[in-house]
Chains A and B, each alone.
Chain A
Amino acid sequence: MSLFETRHAPIDDPAGEMPAGSSAAISIRGVSKVYGHAGNAVHALDNVSLDIANGEFVCLLGTSGCGKSTLLNLIAGLDRPTKGDTEVRGGRTTLMFQESALFPWLTVRGNIELPLKLRKLSKDHRRQVVAQLLELVHLTAFAKKLPHELSGGMRQRVSLARALAQQAEVLLMDEPFGALDAMTRDVLHDEIERLWRDTGLTIVFVTHNVREAVRLGDRVVLLSSRPGRVAADWHVDIPRPRRIESHSVADLSAEIMGSLREEVRRHGTV
């Protein structure tokens, strides 16, 4: 039994203009999100439109206050837009958080098993799937550990396995590696890339780290800050597997960093 059916490969669409409806896993149309009321209202997102193809790995990049996390919440259906709409046609979504958000009372196994339990899978079936997922994130030996007994990187891998246990087709990741050391992050980049390649998941990955975005994404979408808008959109055609320290990654990162800095300067007072 295989955990993931093979899905079709990501559609080659260098122009980024896919025919509406046919292959977009996620469609975001004219989405605005305002918090608070007139007077002290905060425009977190302003008229954001974005199409994400099936199987695409998209990195959302921006400084703080650009509404990256807001956008993810909207896609995940945890929040409603003030205006516009988001549509997910690519299947179920799941969200992986900045902190691991693992349940501290459950072991590694218990955490991964819970989404399966909630979906009423039989005990045997659950055991099989959990074993596969543990294998996938290299944590078989740690199945009986509790979250607080693990390192940050291990916790995020459990979190990833738990997200995968929801058997969603769309994986939303909110700065998942933000709190990790560089070495662990590098290894997890390799892991997530391998996993994405093997499963055909659509991934939306929020980060404020430019190199991370270029290292991972098919596309890097730069959001402007206050209000959040799509400021720029790069297609990354550096061949995979990529290394974060490679020249090609560094070159594109420098270009994107330039735009990001421009974006930051816009908010300065000098």
Chain B
Amino acid sequence: MALFESGGGSSAQLLDAEVSGLDALDLPVPPRPTRGARVWAAAWPKLLAIAIAIFAWQVVVWSGWKEQSVLPGPRKVFPAFVDDWGTIWPASQTTLLRLGQGFAISLVLGMTLGALVARNKVLRAALGSMISGLQTMPSIAWFPLAIVLFGLKESAILFVVVLGAAPSIANGLIGGIDHIQPILLRAGRVMGARRWKEFRYVILPAALPSFVGGLKQAWAFAWRSLLAGEVVVLIANKPSLGHQLQVDKDNIAYPSMMAVMIAILVIGILIDSFIFSRAERAIRKRYGLIDEATQ
């Protein structure tokens, strides 16, 4: 109100009051649901989907399409899961360790490659389309070569995991750098950000949303390549999830085999939703890429 009473006089105090008044009016106060409500809202559709999937599985078993000895139902597989925990748990650890190693190597290679290709025209012309092409190569097609090169060893599996994941990481970074708003780059230049500092303080953070999208895709590729590798490259005395699948199949222990499949699925869902989807969402939210009003 001070504005209208001032009648043209503009003292610093009045101005301050006007500024803070405008700020107060400008900022909306969105109602925030409680934490419990948000967790429940996120969880119930997933729980419902799982219930429906298990029910559908049971229906197929009931239909008598295959004998129960070949296609066991949930009522046989879940007890097998509990009984086999002693083998599933160490096998999961081996598999997850390999995933971590493969992903770490992919991260270093993919980021280096992506940064070089995005910033260098010659490299881009030479390698840009090749990186995308690599992504279309099914990982299973690499294994014969990997086994010839490395033998039946961990390194053969890691080789294929890296080939699957690194191109996605590189592509995510390249795409992110390509789509940076030019005005942000200009703003960086104006304040004197050049070369490494420009990359560190402007380009890399600006590319982050797309980069994390690339990481998410890369993890999915890595996980698939890894399991394919563990089924194909059987390493003695080193039980892993993929290895266990093959062993259970050979021993005609179908409920145990399906228990391992469930472990693989659950690990995949957990890593995807608790690491990658969560990180992606947090970043999109920070960058203001999520419209709060539509959430």
B137 interfacial contact with A, CB 8 Å: no
* CA–CA, A99 and B187, complex, Å: 11
A214 to nearest B CB, angstroms?
16
Contact sample, A vs B, 6 pairs, CB 8 Å cutoff: A78-B189, A114-B191, A117-B201, A138-B23, A151-B23, A194-B15
Given contacts A101-B187, A151-B26, A184-B26, 20 further A-B contacts (CB under 8 A): A76-B190, A94-B191, A102-B187, A104-B286, A104-B287, A106-B205, A118-B191, A119-B192, A138-B23, A149-B27, A149-B288, A150-B27, A166-B192, A183-B22, A187-B15, A187-B19, A194-B12, A241-B10, A243-B8, A246-B8
Taking CB atoms, residues of chain B closer than 8 Å to A97 are 183, 186-187
* CA–CA, A155 and B18, complex, Å: 16
A115 interfacial contact with B, CB 8 Å: yes
Is A78 a contact partner of B23 (Cβ separation < 8 A)? no
Q: Which residues of B contact A (CB under 8 A)?
A: 8, 10, 12, 15-16, 18-20, 22-23, 26-27, 183-184, 186-187, 189-193, 197, 201-202, 205-206, 208, 286-288
Q: Is the interface of B mostly helix, strand, loop or mixed?
A: helix
Counting residue pairs across A and B whose Cβ atoms lie within 8 Å, the total is: 87
Tell which of B16, B27, B183, B184 touches A138, judged by Cβ atoms closer than 8 Å. B16
Q: Which residues of A contact B (CB under 8 A)?
A: 76, 78, 94-95, 97, 99, 101-106, 114-115, 117-119, 138, 142, 146-151, 153-154, 162, 166, 183-184, 187, 190-191, 194, 241, 243, 246
Taking CB atoms, residues of chain B closer than 8 Å to A162 are 191
Taking CB atoms, residues of chain B closer than 8 Å to A99 are 183
A233 to nearest B CB, angstroms?
27
* CA–CA, A95 and B185, complex, Å: 13
Closest to A73 in B: B186
Which of B15, B22, B186, B206 has the most chain A CB atoms inside 10 A of its CB? Answer: B22
A103-B205, A104-B288 known; A151-B19 Cβ under 8 A: no
Taking CB atoms, residues of chain A closer than 8 Å to B286 are 104-105, 146
Is B20 a contact partner of A138 (Cβ separation < 8 A)? yes
Taking CB atoms, residues of chain B closer than 8 Å to A114 are 191, 201
A241 to nearest B CB, angstroms?
5
Closest to B198 in A: A118
Taking CB atoms, residues of chain B closer than 8 Å to A117 are 201
Closest to B16 in A: A138
A105-B205, A105-B208, A105-B287 known; A154-B192 Cβ under 8 A: no
A107 to nearest B CB, angstroms?
10
